[in-house]
Structure 1
Amino acid sequence: MWLLLLALIGSLGLSLAGPVSKNLTVPGIESQQAQSLLRQKMPEAAGGTMRIVVAAPQGATLDAENAKAAVGRGLAAAARVPGVVHVTDPYKSQTLSPDRTIAFADVQFRDAADEIPDTAKDALAGSLAPARDAGLQVEYGGSVMDPDTEVGGPAEIVGVVVAFAVLAVALGSLIAAGLPLLTALIGVGIGVLGVQFIANAVEMTSTATVLALMIGLAVGIDYALFILARHREQLADPDTDVEESAARATATAGSAVVFAGATVIIALAALAVTGVPFLTVMGLAAAATVLLAVLIAVTLVPALLGLLGERLRPRAPKTNRRKDTTWSLVWARTVTRKPLLVLLAGTLGLLAVAMPAKDLRLGLPSHASQPATTTQHKSYDLLTKGFGPGFNATLTAVVDTSRIPAIDREAALGRLATSLDRVPGLTRVGTPIPNSDTTLAAIPVIPATGPDDKATTDLVAHLRDLKAGAARDGATLYIAGATAAAIDVSAKLADALPLFIAIIVILALALLTIAFRSVLVPLKAVAGFLLSIAASLGATVWVFQSGHLNGLLDIPTAGPVTAFLPVLLIGVLFGLAMDYEVFLVSRMREHFQHTRDADEAVTHGVAASGRVVTAAALIMVAVFGGFVFNHDPIIKSIGFALAIGVFIDAFIVRMTLVPAAMALLGHRAWTLPRWLDRITPDVDVEGTNLPQPPAKTIASATERTPDPADHSQVLSSNVTPTSGVTRG
């Protein structure tokens, strides 16, 4: 049935894939209001723009007759491209650099930037052939040239290969290693192709598809791994029946998968509270893929366990190696020997890593963040060299003059232009350009600083302070443009961040209280999660905003952190952190329920789940890390933040700080006030109340003398939860 569903959704997604948008806009922000006004009253100024940048060869200028003629022929051909409504002439508009070596011309389209077909872009590139033939360098920028997001390159494939290698080492079987990859790819195929099909009805950004792929692949592998590892642990007993083992693995590890998956889904869906449509769509698309991963884990995975049967049973060890020689048990005993010291050292270390996060600045990537070999980056550099960085951050003052008498409109626009010219930090204020009935005007404004500079953000705020003066004349002033839009989106997301964090924290406390019937365990988990978030944001700021490791990670230039990355990181990392918390602490609680020994429960929990949690985290890091080498700056930063976040949370917080904290808490970790105990539902994540195994397994278990260090015998037996007596 799953394969049939993949074929059906796949055929729809491939043949009827909907369009994806590159616009990260937010309704209601000022720049978007101005854009809507332009589209309504001045459509010729609301379409996409391509900026053609021309540079003379070394030792020459663009004033040479052959250069003028070549540029003129190229721009004339550009004006004939379908969809183009206007092309500026750099010689008439004086958009030449002071040394006459660099010039730019703006090509205005009728349609929005993301609606311009590739054929039109190719035709424009071909139209400037005369300029290139004359020895001139021609590069392209502007909103029309925002690149498409592409995935599936060598780096992402390497991430999957590393994941397979980790699975093979962790499971000791190539067949077993292939099973999680197979089920994850089926889930991702259905999820991603389904998202592409749904794009016909819902505006979908290209980033939403990539996020669905990234999250779906990582959790799909991990969820299948958790169930498969439990199944093979049980099959280590030669008397355990395959069907019985598959059922019990699904009832225990599968229950944890459902619970952990629910936290990821809720966290991703909670992105809707930001009030940002494109982020809501991204969250829901990723949540749907995670839901598929959960459903596959508890249906397709058990079906494959039955299909593969005895081939998944691990080989008997050549030597009778005791359980207490495993690295995970040694690690657990090391961490819990001096728990307070470990807790203080780990916390201080993470706080040190988090320090750069205090300087966090949000924004959207400009063309400067594109790879240095792309035409977008080259055009950005040429404009900066010839005219200054502000020409890459052009703003537009949109003025609604409909309430001013027609006879007074020109004078009012003149006074506003004078006021704009007095604002410090501007290089140039252009001549007001009115629409056909003079009820709306656009004034080009050139800052002195680039789009990623904090001074530009301050400048936009100062320009908007002029609204009161414009209102006295009866006009309404808006500051718009791509740079202003990026600033507005960043501010909107920054305002939504505290509410989103509060929702996530409350959600975590509620879910973990239900899962572990404890108050201190959820509080400890949330504190660890906040440490992970702070440290991963600190590392991201240190790399992408401060410019460290740029060469190693192929980051062309430092700049603000992608505006929606913190919100996305919190949502995704919360779900993944709760995954590891549930799988690790549920094994501790399982042992505590059986033995009532709090100290031994901590070491047993780490020993029983350390190997599989380590493998799962390494897989996550490999999958997310593969996206770090994607050329798209947004995907690159998301991949890095998630990879470093998972690494910190799994290995430092969950595998180190959690055992240390649990050792300090002792029996207190498992207490719940009576009033709260009465109203808290019992979800039995650990499978404590499962029925007895079949008689064959019980009989065979009594014939052998149990090894106290062999935890698999305890895990595969039925117990009385409160007595601590194991019954074979």
Structure 2
Amino acid sequence: MSSALFRLGRFSFRHKWWVIGTWVALLAIMGGLVAGLNPKFAKDFELPGTDGGIAMEQMQEKFPALSEQQMKARTTVVIAADDGLAAHTAQIETLTTELAALPSVTDPKQIVDPVLVAQSDPAMASQVLSDDGKIGLISVGQDIDLMELEPADKQALLDVLERNSGNGLQVEATSGVMGAMSGGGTAEALGFGVAFVVMIVAFGALIAAFIPLITGIVGVGLTMLMLMVSASFMTVNQAATGIVLMLGIAVSIDYALFIVSRFRNEVQRGGSPADAAGRAVGTAGTAVVFAGLTVIIAVVALMVIGIPLITQMGMGAAVAVLVAVLSAITLIPAILGAVGRFAFTPRIPWIRHAEPSDDVDTLGVKFGRAIVAKPIPFIVVGLAILVAAAIPVKGMELGLDMTADDEIAAQQLVKKGFGEGINGQLFVVVAADDDADVAPAAERTVADIKKLPDVYQPESVAWMGNGTDPANPNAGANTALIVVTPLSSPSSTETHDLMESIRALSPTLEQQRAQLHVGGQTAIMSDLSTKLDKALIPYIAVVVGLAFLIMIAVFRSIWVPLIGTIGFVFSVLATFGITTAVFTDGWLGLIENPRPLLSFLPIFLVGVVFGLAMDYQVFLVTRMREEFLHGMSPKDAIVAGYRHGGRVVTSAAIIMISVFAAFMLSPETTNKMLGFALAIAVFFDAFIIRMIVVPAVISLLGEKAWGLPRWLDKLVLNFDVEGSSVRHRGVGTTAEEEVALT
């Protein structure tokens, strides 16, 4: 492989303008397709094949008008006053007038003071006004598709709320236009900014620092454009784009950093710049390919879970990594060819040791010598830190709370005035077989639900049919919809038990030739947890198994992959612990509103972090193996690995941590939590496991670390990840030999 990559790197360097032109053309083509197709990302969460998913599908099919209505923005404005809402009639009238004047309001007459609604229609009182008259609900429907919400829609509402809040009246809002996502860009800009500073320190030169940024922008831009185009032909959830951006930026810059750094080292060794580019791609590029392959396997394997959102995240991330690898082995050498001898200029004199030297003992070299001299203390201390960080994991809670911070106040008021379950309604769908009359089965179900514990206002539970007569939709209906509001919170055990009790009515209904399914966010959350629990072990087996086999081929060793995999377990448990402490327990005050971890975070984090962990394992340890194969003792090879790779791996890890951490600035809960968890995971794994524990254990093993049993050595293909076959190509060649290499 290294020979093929040598030729590819050399070709890209020599035919720089063709390669650069190809990448620019791809960007232009994808950009043109996006402009022409005008694709939209999905924002709904689906779980096909589960009881909750079936219920939602039946709702869309049998109650299309209701489903279409649910796709329109309907915002709940919550008003509260300690002295009672009746004392603020004039203020509330001004509020309702301004709300009715918002763009695309469907029925302004329905935007009414909840006190007046309760007085005119006592039957509706409990739905719009709290028993003490201090909290009320105003529903604002707008003819705006939830898929097309813009930040301006949300800002228009927020302006109205701000103008009318005060003088004893609290005005908040949740759902509807409050779900509009901001344009973003801050996190990405900050990530690129930090990356640029780190690369200036790493290279000690401005132009070289710009090169990974250029390829990072190109790679991420192309990936996002491809994702947008695919949204025209299939469902792509907007939540999946966050991880694609995070991972795409990080790996694009990291992979470019490794290639540029190796190119500088190869230029110093001699030969033509084209040969140096070929050797850089043939050595570091081989490591990039295998590192990228481990990440791709890890994220693509998320498909085994069977959850569309997670599958989309995994596939999008895989495309981002693939584009990053391709740009590293083609676009980087092309840009190096374009800038020519100016690649590492202008130099910044105050940055020491930007260029690795065999004569200068850098901090990394001294650290490496300390580890190989006394490896056991480093192993003990490193693992002890991770074990301590993992302690809070015993309190880890999972949920699917995607509520933005600016909706929390409204939801707390709703909870106070109308109970915890108001935001966790269960949608019970009863469908009669063979299009028969559903009334008997629906009436039986309603009667049974009213007897169940933990039902809010059981006397008001009723069913709605899908009959053709608008005046009486229950007549001739073959499907019924029953909305059940729990007394307890959506994530409570009581609500879960209520849902299971309703589902337990299904066998009785089957005797009446009817089917029952329970949907809604609460039901889907329960189904999601079940699905994740079943998928976790098979997923880990697939990811770790395939990656372990790849690592055996990369390092031609059993011990090195085994050490790396065990180390990953420590780092990921520590990540779960710290993330739980910050987001659920509220440590450090980083999160204003602590909440359970997103239910899909653990399994997604396992996949992504395992791939990234193997990245640094490949980049650092392959250099150690390379030096060992070329005659160094095991301990000297480890020190040499720190000399040539320590600074680069450290820079790459800092860049990746910074890019991930920057996404905590995002208003989206998903991005915040994913950004923090990935950042802390890279910190633990790169700096404690890969930079300390793994080299220390390898030092203890000595030569045993770098070998395979004879029977296995014959079976494993030699991919020459160290680039032995190209290590000296072009170094000190004559003009005739130079032509022969072309």
- TM (normalized to structure 2)? 0.84
Mapped to 1, the partners of 2:91 and 2:511 lie a distance apart of: 49
Give the CA deviation at 1:135: 9.0
Whether the 8 Å contact between 2:441 and 2:512 is mirrored in structure 1 is no
**Alpha-carbon distance change, 119 to 662 in structure 1, aligned in 2, over 3 angstroms:** closer
Mapped to 2, the partners of 1:589 and 1:129 lie a distance apart of: 63
Name the SS for the 1:557 alignment partner: coil
Greater RCO between the two (CA within 8 Å, min separation 6)? 2
**Alpha-carbon distance change, 38 to 85 in structure 1, aligned in 2, over 3 angstroms:** farther
Whether the 8 Å contact between 1:226 and 1:253 is mirrored in structure 2 is yes
1:450 counterpart residue number: 489
**Alpha-carbon distance change, 310 to 328 in structure 1, aligned in 2, over 3 angstroms:** same
1:301-338 deviations in Å (ceiling 9; x for gaps) = 11122222222358799999864521111111112222
**Alpha-carbon distance change, 694 to 294 in structure 1, aligned in 2, over 3 angstroms:** closer
1:486-531 deviations in Å (ceiling 9; x for gaps) = 3322332232222111111101210001111111111111111222
Matched, 1:538 2:571: no
Mapped to 2, the partners of 1:596 and 1:65 lie a distance apart of: 85
Question: Which consecutive residues of structure 1, in runs of 5 or more, have no partner in the other structure?
Answer: 700-728
Of 202-211 and 183-192, deviating more is 202-211
Name the SS for the 1:100 alignment partner: coil
Partner amino acid for 2:557? S
Give the counterpart of 1:512 among 520, 542, 551: 551
1:402-429 deviations in Å (ceiling 9; x for gaps) = 688667456414422323xx32475656
Mapped to 2, the partners of 1:360 and 1:336 lie a distance apart of: 37
Whether the 8 Å contact between 1:78 and 1:124 is mirrored in structure 2 is yes
Of 171-180 and 260-269, deviating more is 260-269
**Alpha-carbon distance change, 302 to 231 in structure 1, aligned in 2, over 3 angstroms:** same
1:268 counterpart residue number: 299
2:233 counterpart residue number: 201
Mapped to 2, the partners of 1:230 and 1:487 lie a distance apart of: 50
**Alpha-carbon distance change, 126 to 40 in structure 1, aligned in 2, over 3 angstroms:** farther
Whether the 8 Å contact between 2:429 and 2:480 is mirrored in structure 1 is yes
Give the CA deviation at 1:15: 5.0
Give the counterpart of 1:247 among 271, 278, 285: 278
Name the SS for the 2:46 alignment partner: coil
**Alpha-carbon distance change, 331 to 85 in structure 1, aligned in 2, over 3 angstroms:** farther
Mapped to 2, the partners of 1:615 and 1:517 lie a distance apart of: 27
Mapped to 1, the partners of 2:620 and 2:162 lie a distance apart of: 63
**Alpha-carbon distance change, 365 to 409 in structure 1, aligned in 2, over 3 angstroms:** closer
Of 103-112 and 1-10, deviating more is 103-112
Partner amino acid for 1:196? M
Whether the 8 Å contact between 2:130 and 2:417 is mirrored in structure 1 is yes
Whether the 8 Å contact between 1:384 and 1:390 is mirrored in structure 2 is yes
Whether the 8 Å contact between 1:429 and 1:444 is mirrored in structure 2 is no
Whether the 8 Å contact between 2:454 and 2:495 is mirrored in structure 1 is no
After superposition, where does 1:208-219 map in structure 2 within 5 Å? 208-219=240-251
Give the CA deviation at 1:544: 1.2
Matched, 1:7 2:31: no
1:214-265 deviations in Å (ceiling 9; x for gaps) = 111111111111011111123335x443222111111111111111112112
Mapped to 1, the partners of 2:149 and 2:243 lie a distance apart of: 25
Name the SS for the 2:587 alignment partner: coil
1:636-664 deviations in Å (ceiling 9; x for gaps) = 00000110011111100000001111011
2:564 counterpart residue number: 525
Mapped to 1, the partners of 2:555 and 2:103 lie a distance apart of: 68
After superposition, where does 1:339-358 map in structure 2 within 5 Å? 339-358=375-394
**Alpha-carbon distance change, 617 to 321 in structure 1, aligned in 2, over 3 angstroms:** closer
1:140 counterpart residue number: 173
Give the counterpart of 1:644 among 655, 680, 684: 680
After superposition, where does 1:372-383 map in structure 2 within 5 Å? 374=406, 376-383=407-414
Mapped to 2, the partners of 1:111 and 1:294 lie a distance apart of: 40
- Cα RMSD of the aligned pairs, angstroms, is 3.5
Give the counterpart of 1:433 among 459, 463, 474: 463
Partner amino acid for 1:156? E
Give the CA deviation at 1:190: 1.0
Give the CA deviation at 1:136: 5.9
2:713 counterpart residue number: 677
1:151 counterpart residue number: 184
Name the SS for the 2:453 alignment partner: coil
Give the CA deviation at 1:137: 5.0
Give the CA deviation at 1:366: 4.1
- TM (normalized to structure 1)? 0.86
Mapped to 2, the partners of 1:241 and 1:519 lie a distance apart of: 38
Mapped to 2, the partners of 1:410 and 1:87 lie a distance apart of: 32
1:703 counterpart residue number: none
2:62 counterpart residue number: 41
Whether the 8 Å contact between 2:88 and 2:169 is mirrored in structure 1 is no
1:441-493 deviations in Å (ceiling 9; x for gaps) = 33332223333445544443344334445555554333322222233223322
Q: Percent of aligned pairs with the same residue?
A: 38
Matched, 1:283 2:303: no
Partner amino acid for 2:215? T
Matched, 1:400 2:441: no
2:651 counterpart residue number: 615
Whether the 8 Å contact between 1:81 and 1:120 is mirrored in structure 2 is no
Whether the 8 Å contact between 1:44 and 1:109 is mirrored in structure 2 is no
2:208 counterpart residue number: 176
Mapped to 1, the partners of 2:650 and 2:644 lie a distance apart of: 11
Name the SS for the 2:485 alignment partner: strand
Aligned length: 687
Mapped to 1, the partners of 2:492 and 2:28 lie a distance apart of: 49
2:662 counterpart residue number: 626
Partner amino acid for 2:417? G
Give the CA deviation at 1:379: 2.0
After superposition, where does 1:552-631 map in structure 2 within 5 Å? 553=590, 555-595=591-631, 597-631=633-667
Whether the 8 Å contact between 2:246 and 2:659 is mirrored in structure 1 is yes
Matched, 1:53 2:77: yes
Whether the 8 Å contact between 1:354 and 1:538 is mirrored in structure 2 is yes
Give the counterpart of 1:485 among 479, 501, 524: 524
**Alpha-carbon distance change, 600 to 309 in structure 1, aligned in 2, over 3 angstroms:** same
Mapped to 2, the partners of 1:691 and 1:192 lie a distance apart of: 36
Mapped to 2, the partners of 1:536 and 1:230 lie a distance apart of: 31
Give the CA deviation at 1:580: 0.7
Give the counterpart of 2:401 among 365, 376, 380: 365
Mapped to 1, the partners of 2:84 and 2:500 lie a distance apart of: 41
1:719 counterpart residue number: none
Whether the 8 Å contact between 2:192 and 2:659 is mirrored in structure 1 is yes
Whether the 8 Å contact between 2:153 and 2:180 is mirrored in structure 1 is no
Give the counterpart of 1:189 among 213, 221, 229: 221
1:24 counterpart residue number: 45
1:390 counterpart residue number: 421
Whether the 8 Å contact between 2:262 and 2:284 is mirrored in structure 1 is yes
Matched, 1:498 2:537: yes
Whether the 8 Å contact between 1:81 and 1:124 is mirrored in structure 2 is no
